[in-house]
Amino acid sequence: MGANSATSSRTAALRTRLHYYATLLAAELTVILVYPFIVGSGEPQSVARLCGLIIFVAAIYGVLGMGRRTAIATALGVPALLIHAINVAGYWLGLQTFALVLGLLFLVFVTTVMIATILTDASVTTDTLAGAVSAYLLVGIMFGFAYTLIEQMAPGSFKDTVQPGKHFTQPEFTFFSFVTLTTVGYGDIVPWGPHARAAAMLESVIGIMYPAVLIGRLVGLHGRKREDAGVS
């Protein structure tokens, strides 16, 4: 009786978590799909901040119901979200760097929590897969914030091989981040400063290791499930 109750509770929790992760994944894909319109708009930075708001809200929603971790994520994410919202309206622009720092810390924390939760989950479900993809996309968005912050703190850390001297916007750093994460490396944007290169190397390693570790974990769980089914 107790075992059945525990199983039912876990099933209900997985369904709820799927809803959370699916919402985050939908928000991330939406931001990626509207990328051409962000870059082509007259105010790419403002539109990028608006997209950042969508990601922040979805990410906070994605870690609801996790106790202390939810509280920490909220404490980091809500101030960044509010500053970004005010920046969209054209106010408090002097706090952009502070908002980037808070946003970066928030994304690092949420991504770490999600990956840890996924890797420690004892079963392979649709929820696991949705969370895994969401976390992978969060890594790309997170490093986009990091590159923007690096360029603000040390101008000239990135160079454009097509248009020398070009000033990069946050959407362009997000593009560079995903190119680096997937190790495609088009070469139009080049990390020039030491901090930029260190961050790019770190993201490249994550981009290679994340799918390998994740696939190994999922294959291991699937094999264990088959063994358990055979034993029973």
pLDDT, tens only, 60-91: 988 888 889 999 999 999 998 888 888 777 77
Q: Is residue 173 part of a domain?
A: yes
Average confidence (pLDDT) over 206-226: 77
Task: State if pTM tops 0.85.
Answer: no
Return the CATH number at 159: 1.10.287.70
Q: Is residue 2 part of a domain?
A: no
> Residue 47, CB half-sphere, CA atoms under 13 Å: how many?
16
pLDDT tens profile 158-179: 999 988 888 888 889 999 999 9
What percent of the chain lies above the pLDDT cut of 70? 85
pLDDT tens profile 109-163: 999 998 888 888 777 777 778 888 899 999 999 999 999 999 999 999 999 998 8
85: exposed, middle or buried (Cβ count in 10 Å: 0-12, 13-18, 19+): middle
Q: What is the pLDDT of residue 1?
A: 47
Q: Is residue 3 part of a domain?
A: no
Range of the domain at 108: 12-231
Distance CA 209, CA 112 (A): 15
Q: Is residue 26 part of a domain?
A: yes
Q: What are 194's two structure tokens?
A: 């030491």
> Quick one: three-class SS letters along 139-184?
HHHHHHHHHHHHHHHCCCCEEECCCCCCCCCHHHHHHHHHHHHCCC
Q: Is residue 5 part of a domain?
A: no
Domain count of the fold of the chain: 1
Q: Is residue 7 part of a domain?
A: no
Q: Is residue 172 part of a domain?
A: yes
